[in-house]
Structure 1
Amino acid sequence: MSVDSRLEQIQYPDNTGNILIDYDGFNRIQRLTRSVPNLGSIVVEYAYDDNDLITSVRTIYPGIAPQEVTYTYYPDGSRASMTIAGSVLTYEYAFLTGTLRVSGEPFAGLRIRVNLPVTTGLRQESWYDRRGLLRMEQTTNGVYREYHYNGRGLLTQLYNRDQFTVSNRYADFTNLQYDAAGNLLRMDVSIPAFGAAPALNGTVVYDYDAQDRQVYENASWYAQPVQFSYDPNDNPTTVRGISFGSNAADQISNSGWVYQNGDLVQMVRFGEGPVLTYNREHQLVRYYNPNAAPPIDIRYFYRPDGLLGGRIGPNYFRWYLYDGPVPIAEVDGNTGSVVSLYIYGPEGLTQRFAPGGANRRLYTFDPFGNVVHRVQFGQSYPNVLSLAWHDRLGATYLDISSTGANPFPSPDVLDGYLARYGIFRDPWTRPWNQANLTGLMTTSWGTAFDPATGRFTSRTGSSQNPYARLFRPEKNFADANWNLVVAFANWGYT
């Protein structure tokens, strides 16, 4: 601490990952520095305007040139532009009247337009009604999404269509019904076949216990119902047919599961025994699977602001750039070049492409924010690369390409479960023989969630159970660690 009680240094007992904090003349954080063992240091520098709004975030990763994200604002503080390593996005706001294209229903409200750093005139738009509910999203010559709600403001219909010809259907979710507590009871799904990717048509049903915890999910394409049960402290006792015991600390007590300092360090996943390592902040820093052939070793590195700075995995070395807490770019760890830009609207992820617009993929989503399709931009409908399906609590049941490759051979790190909200997938953590597609999910804060157990791997939950996650899907959708909703309040949208 300084003489005026400012925090200036965080020093850990083993002197690894120490953090230095520098301030400007107005007591605003100006620079953060964190040591990274065997690599050097990660530095994040900030600049501000006279209203204390951030105008630039300059990130210096070891061994590569600095990368910068800059911002400009309108007089009311709304975001006017964001530049990601030279790629410029501009923002426009207007109150307009319009008509939904699928249903033809008129409405009036706010339109937020994001002009993209691609071919002139291409943009994405989000339209809201007077209640502030999202009614329509579209990307020029891309994907069109339409939303309908009941009188309680709960979603009842979601259409994912081709923006150029809206009768061309990607995925429709209709007739969503809820109980008095707001728990989703059923929805109808209509997804046509695309090449070798099969059609999914039917009704998904859900059920809950007296504490509103989801205990059942089923659809015609499931081999068997998805069932869960819980003990009084929200520990899952059965997850998709697998039984789990828990000790007094709410940790898995099954044979082969080992905890140290509150963190899960040895797990049993589909017959494999991965080893996990954490730092002093309980962030995942290593995932090692000795059962894979060859063994899989993934390393995670954290910035001084606590965000996941980068990962090294099989044939993968990337650093990440952020807009607040949300990942917006991947930087090649060897060359320092930006290789992917992730583009968001006010409600979340919509697409990704390389600088200049090459290799562009758009996404369709289910009502929960899980990716359903990867859509190749620039090709006429049907231009679907793949079809995916996740159950409500994160298991991947399907991720097949339209050419028949199973699983999809070239996933991104942001195109799976809850990808809409910037949740990373770890494709290398699924069983190495790919007999089951479910891997870990990692947040930008380094919190890991295992859909196979329904738990965090470290003590980061927000309920009375520090490992519990998503046991009440509608009510625990955003907690203090995942920030799935809070994140968007920091983006400067009004």
Structure 2
Amino acid sequence: MRRFIYGCFALLLFTAIALADERPNKEGDPPPGLEPPPPPWEGTCPFDPPGCPVPDPGDGGEPPGGGGSCGPEGVYPLYAPSAGDPVNLAAGVEAYRPADDLVVYNPYGPRVVWRRHYYSSLAILGQSSPGLPRGWVHTYDITLQRAGNNPNTWNLTLVYPYGAAEPLQAELNAQGQPTGMLTPPSGSPYFVRGVPSATPYVWQSVTITWRDQTQWTFVPVDGYVYVLSAITNRVGRSITFTWDAQRRLLQVTEAGSGMVLLSLTYNAQNLLANVTDAYGRQVSYGYSMPANLSVLCLTWVSQVVAAGTPNPPNRYSYGYVAYATDKPLLSSITVPSPTGIGIATSTLQYRNGRVVARVDANGNRTEYQYDLAAQQTTVVVKNSLGNEVYKWTQKYSASRRNTGTIDAGGNHVTIEYNDPANPGRPTRIVERDGKQTTYTYDAYGNVLTVTNPRGITTTYTYDYTAFPLGRLVRVQEGNMPPTTYTYYEPSGLVQSVTSPKPGSVNGETVTTSYTYDALGNVLTVTAPGNNATPVMVTTYNYTQDGSYTQPAKVGQPLTVTDSLGNVTRYRYDARGNRVQVTDANGNTTDFSYNIADQLVLVQYPATGQQGSGRARTQNVYLYPGGPLRQVLEYDESGTQIRQVSYTYGAEGHLVQRTGSTEVVSYVYDATYRVVQVRDGKGNATSFSYNQRGDLVQITYPGGDSVQFAYDAAGRVVQRRDGRGIVTNYVYNDPEGLLTGIEYPAYPALNVSFTYDSEGRRASMTDAVGVTTYSYDHVGNPLSVSVTYAGLPTRVITYSYHADGSRATMSTPAGTYSYTYDGAGRLVGLNALGWSASWTYAPNGWLLTQTLNGASTTYEYNARGFLTRLTNRDVGGNVLSDFQNLRYDGVGNRTQMTVSFPATPSLGGVTNFSYDTKNQLLQEQSTRVGGYTFHFAYDPAQNPTQFKGQSRTYNVNNQLIGAGFGYDGNGNPVLYKGVNLSFDPENRMTAYGNILTAGYNGDGLRAWKQTASGRRYYLYDGEELVCELDAAGNAVAGVVFGANGLLVYGTTGYQFDPQGNAVHLMDADGLVLAHLAYDAWGQRMSGNNPTPYGYKAQWGYYTDGETGVLLLTHRYLDPATGRFLTRDPIGFEGGVNLYAYTRNRPVMLRDSRGTFAWVPAICAA
């Protein structure tokens, strides 16, 4: 709810590009990858069935270390693999962890992850994993070693690949013989059991069991060293390891089937030459002897290629400098340049064996300044010109634990470790503003309590009877009812989760339960039901789909059946990638992948509209495993119709997106924060940061700017906008939540918030009145009470079914009752004297909607595009029939044929055409006497031709000319010759002397005043639900259902395929009006006395007095096809801050005035 309070603060979301994690690791602690996976209730199941709390059975075979990454979509930067790398700031060690070389799908158990790391500390010591050169390790190189090389001890030391070690103390009986138990350091998240051999002081095998029940089993290679022989997941499925006499890894095998998942070969110098997986994929390794060194070093690693490919291209190349004698320090990392031309190289500089600087491929320099006496390291980032742009300091303890940070403003984060039984786990974290969170643990490092700054303690309870490390059986936050868990033994798979019942405040509960197959795949999820059924069961079948059968495989359900028996079907390739999905209607989509498992092709179900083939999307990558370079779209005739291209900088940062899309380019600073965004015309918006990394100014192309100030915690405390208006933000809350918004120049507009003991909003006091809130035990609202100034309090209340779906809503206008089918889809709604119902296809597509007997039917092609929409009155007579809806290959509607039996002039054929950016170029229709509208756009998506009129725009993409003028925030204070007024949050408060308006603290319009009087508005979330008159009496209720708007006041609605109102009717089904609108919202025929017309189905609210439409948070002018003001969520909604639906009004909607999207086929 608060996102719109900040207005352009949302730009922080767009520009917040974080630095790589450079926190120190404690020597002796496992690296991040060795921390056990998330507890079972936080994991995922195949295809993420709702609420499923079970880990993917493919996990458990992961070696320690980091993983890969992916980038977001939209206008956000996309990242390719970078040449950069992390540095351990406590030790000054170069800890280079590239992306996994190979991840191998195991159909029957833990997957294999081939991962290698480089540590400069190991290179200095001359150490490595066997088969790799100095400094390099692979993450299966985990060993147990006899403690202190003492030949007469049962004690062992667990040694991690990077050299950290943990002692394991053998428990002896009275005769001095081992009991089989070995004790790890206090607080370790694992336990150890061994089987003594007949040879004194030699174990036959030793098994380490982790908190997620993954087991590492070790066997001796001699009396002193034990190697990893198996990794076993919680359901007993194992991968086994084969080593040679030199302790080089030779094979990883699936234990049950004997399938060789990974094979390793070595060259004549006994160094790793190739790794090859079970699917014929291979990565090769090359070595040479750099200058000033007389030892071989790893100098290149190939891309993933088919086994046997000669001269495979490089994915990585490495350079080294010598430290002392033959100690190779990694000094350069080279990757294929994400620019597509040549290579990109980052370099490292050392002093006395410590990394002191890193220079990336763009010449940006990160310096590391070590203060050993103070136990802290300062990180300074400079651009290629040597200018300092960012600075912070890492603190650490003598044992190299992370003890906090200091930002460039001198503000500290402090981390304390005060539990002797868990010396490596923080017990108190004090943030920069002094707010603290405390933690306690059990003997195995399980969190027992977390106390937040509000003083609320969340308690975690464990059962140790079935599993020594404990099963989490209860979680309780403060005085809230607990959530409890039961498990299957001995696997520890979650059997049930019992949590507070939605809508309840008296301790009632609901339970979700799970069953599994022998591989740990979910077989059934039994979830709480609704009015239609006490429970909803989703079933997964892994072995049979009709005549097709296969052995059960990890994460490969062949069918998923919902509680009504509707079946979705899936197929997979040998590597476990999903290659086919057939929905419950029988529509099939196919997927293809490259050798690196990147999606390269999507083939859609055939519709026959553009040809006899299938439309498809093709992704083009720089190389397998590399960055996405192009997205190509083909229609069903095989013709390429769209192309989007991505251009990257040398560090893999997106610098430009071009082609069949909204063109945008980015400029970055040395920390890869966005400092400039350019639209398709080159108009630049700039972002400035302080040395702490806070965004301090946004400057728009025309020079208008917004400035921000921050407190010690990094929260915005002041905004000075382009008009010079100051807004202050107050955080007088124990957890630092926003408690006040103050406008010194407009104190009557101040907003304040209070919160309950759980940190949920309890009240909001704003310029229009007071709103209070109450909640159930899972956070669902139970009541919202609104007291507008001078009016009686009006209350909206809610109740819920057991599955959390809404059962009732009571408003001043009346009560709403909701019913659902067994799959959780809304099928019935009774409200305000109206009754609505819906039916669905097996795949969930909406088929019919009925309102007080008047009906609408929907038909679709195989891709889910609407092909026919028919509206009928209560007698079954056709009111309007929109048929022969046709589309291009990317889903733009190109034609529809319309018939209106009662009003033939509203019938006819409408054709739409588009440019390659999907912008509407022409709307030509024979309806309402016939019309043709033409449109043209500049490179920034401004409509320069709009229905035959020429338009001009300034560098801010604002419509200019006679009768237009803008303030420093981009608001049109003069619009078509009319004076407009705006409040400090850029919300329109006056449209000449025609309309005035006020808004609540969430930015929703609370009232409007016109010549007809004043109307007040109540909301269900952000959806209008009730209008009140000047005395506070309900004068119009608003009903939304499964597919949008149904009723306003005494008027019911039916719609066209765009969502425009076409028929108005009363509760008895009497048709009151027939309407027609063009694509942009001009009413072409009929009179509409209600505020819902253009895209009324999606909640667009027309102010008839002004002709502009309120889309929740912004006003749209259908006569210009533009929003009046900048997007309150900034560039998150697109680069042109005034553009509406990216000029795709036929297909896209923007109900909130922030972000355009395609309406769902079924919004149940």
The answer, yes or no, to whether TM exceeds 0.5 is yes
Matches within 5 A, 1:202-217: 202-217=908-923
SS in 1 for 2:1097: helix
| 1:274-353 mapped onto 2 (5 Å cutoff) | 274-288=978-992, 296-333=993-1030, 335-353=1031-1049
8 Å contact from structure 1 (residues 127, 134) kept in 2: yes
- Find the aligned partners of 1:317 and 1:364 in 2 and give their Cα distance: 28
- 2:860 maps to 149
Do the aligned partners of 1:171 and 1:364 also contact (CA within 8 Å) in 2? no
User: Equivalent of 2:1067, from 369, 377, 381?
Assistant: 377
State yes or no: 1:42 paired with 2:773: no
Aligned-pair CA distance for 1:89: 1.4
Mapped to 2, the partners of 1:219 and 1:487 lie a distance apart of 23
**8 Å CA contact retained: 1:32, 1:305:** no
Q: Helix, strand or coil for the counterpart of 1:420?
A: helix
Whether 1:179 aligns to 2:876 is no
| In 2, Cα distance between equivalents of 1:477 and 1:72 | 30
What is the rounded CA distance, in whole Å, between the counterparts of 2:1079 and 2:1029 in structure 1? 33
Q: Which residue of 2 aligns with 1:258?
A: 965
Counterpart of 2:839 in structure 1 is: 127
Deviations for 1:325-376, whole angstroms, at most 9, x for unmatched residues? Answer: 110111002x2110111111121111233xxxxxx22111111111112112
Asked if the contact 1:366/1:372 (under 8 Å) is kept, the reply is yes
Change (3 A) 1:70 1:300: same
Cα distance between partner residues in 1 of 2:815 and 2:1152:
31
- 1:422 is matched with 1099
SS of aligned partner of 1:199? helix
Task: For 1:29, give the aligned amino acid.
Answer: R
Question: What is the letter of the counterpart of residue 361 of structure 1?
Answer: T
Larger CA Rg, structure 1 vs 2: 2
Counterpart in the other structure of 2:937: 230
Following superposition of structure 1 onto structure 2, how do residues 60-209 of structure 1 map, counting pairs within 5 Å? Answer: 60-85=787-812, 87-95=814-822, 110=825, 112-118=827-833, 123-141=835-853, 143-163=854-874, 165-166=875-876, 168-193=877-902, 199-209=905-915
Aligned to 1:105: none
Q: Aligned pairs, how many? A: 424
State the alpha-carbon separation in 1 of the partners of residues 785 and 1074 from structure 2: 37
Q: Once the 2 structures are TM-superposed, how far is the Cα of residue 185 of structure 1 from its aligned partner?
A: 0.2
- Residue of structure 2 equivalent to 1:434: none
3-state DSSP of counterpart to 2:960? coil
| Deviation of 1:444 (Å) | 2.2
Conserved in 1, the CA contact under 8 Å of 2:1140 and 2:1156?
Answer: no
Which of 1111, 1120, 1125 is the equivalent residue of 1:458?
1125
Aligned to 1:449: 1116
What is the CA-CA distance between 1:152 and the residue it aligns to? 0.4
| In structure 2, C-alpha distance between the alignment counterparts of 1:341 and 1:482, rounded to whole Å | 25
Label 1:281 to 1:17 Cα distance change in 2 as closer, same or farther (>3 A): same
CA contact (8 A) 2:1112 2:1152 kept: no
Q: Which amino acid aligns with 2:1102?
A: R
Counterpart-to-counterpart distance in 1, 2:799 and 2:846: 25
The runs of at least 4 aligned residues of structure 1 exceeding 4 Å deviation read: 482-488
Gaps of 5+ in 1: 36-40, 97-108, 289-295, 354-359, 401-407, 430-438
CA distance, structure 1, for counterparts of residue 1126 and residue 1154 of structure 2: 13
Render the CA deviation track for 1:374-421: whole Å, top value 9, x for unaligned.
112326xxx322222111111122233xxxxxxx5xx122x2111111
Aligned mates of 1:201, 1:375 — CA distance in 2: 20
Residue from 465, 469, 481 that aligns with 2:1153: 481
CA–CA separation in structure 1 for the residues paired with 2:1017 and 2:769: 12
Alpha-carbon offset, residue 485 of structure 1: 6.8
1:4 equivalent in structure 2: 735
| TM-score after normalising by structure 1 | 0.81
Measured after TM superposition, the shift of residue 209 of structure 1 is: 0.9
CA distance in 1, matches of 2:808, 2:1011: 36
Paired amino acid for 2:838? S
Question: Helix, strand or coil: the match of 2:1105?
Answer: helix
Query: What letter corresponds to residue 856 of structure 2 in structure 1?
Result: R
Q: Which has the higher contact order (CA 8 A, sep 6+)?
A: 1
Q: Deviations over 1:308-337 (max 9, x none)?
A: 11111121311011111110111002x211
| Structure-1 residue corresponding to 2:1138 | 467
Which residue pairs with 1:106 in the alignment?
Answer: none
1:292 alignment counterpart: none
Aligned counterparts of 1:192 and 1:330: Cα–Cα separation in 2: 35
The amino acid of 2:795's aligned partner reads E
Distance 1:91 1:309 in 2: 27
Contact 1:259 1:265 in 2 (8 A): yes
Report the AA paired with residue 457 of structure 1: L
Q: In structure 1, what residue type is equivalent to 2:843? A: R
Q: Does 1:412 align with 2:1143?
A: no
Contact 1:325 1:487 in 2 (8 A): no
DSSP 3-state at the match of 1:182 = coil
1:472 corresponds to which letter in structure 2? R
One-letter identity of the residue aligned with 2:1144: R
Structure 1 window deviating more from structure 2 (20-29 vs 447-456): it is 447-456
What is the alpha-carbon distance in structure 2 between the residues aligned to residue 140 and residue 266 of structure 1? 45
Shift of 1:84: 0.8
Task: Please state how far the C-alpha of 1:223 moved relative to its aligned partner.
Answer: 5.0
Take 1:418 and 1:17, find their aligned partners in 2: how far apart are those partners? 32
RMSD (CA atoms): 2.3
Q: Distance in 2 between matches of 1:482 and 1:258?
A: 23
Residue pair 1:8, 1:20 contacting (<8 A) in 2 also: yes
Residues 451 and 226 of structure 1: CA distance in aligned 2, closer, same or farther (over 3 Å): same
Q: Is 1:363 aligned to residue 1069 of structure 2? A: no
Secondary structure in structure 2 of the residue aligned to 1:225: strand
Distance of 1:480 and 1:422 partners within structure 2: 9
In structure 1, distance between residues paired with 2:1097 and 2:1154: 13
Supply the AA of the counterpart residue of 1:207: S
Secondary structure of 1:428's partner?
coil
The letter of the residue matching 2:981 is T
Distance across 2 between alignment mates of 1:201 and 1:327: 32
List alignment gaps of at least 5 residues for structure 2. Answer: 1-730
Give the aligned partner of residue 432 of structure 1.
none
Q: Deviations over 1:69-120 (max 9, x none)?
A: 1100011101111111261111111249xxxxxxxxxxxx9452112242xx
Q: In structure 2, what is the Cα distance between the partners aligned to 1:193 and 1:199?
A: 9
Q: After superposition, what is the alpha-carbon deviation per residue over 1:417-470, rounded to whole angstroms, capped at 9, x for unaligned? A: 1111111101011xxxxxxxxx2111222x111111111111117221111113
Identify if the C-alpha distance between structure 1 residues 64 and 110 changes in structure 2 by more than 3 Å, giving closer, same or farther. Answer: closer
Letter in 2 for 1:325: E
Q: What are the Cα deviations for residues 160-210 of structure 1, in whole angstroms up to 9, with x where unaligned?
A: 1013x22x111111110000010000001111335xxx6312111000012
Could you say if the C-alpha distance between residues 32 and 147 of structure 1 is closer, same or farther in structure 2, counting changes exceeding 3 Å? same
Change (3 A) 1:485 1:48: farther
The 1:111/1:6 distance shift into structure 2, 3 A limit, reads closer
- 1:293 aligns with none
Matching of residue 21 in structure 1 with residue 753 in structure 2: yes
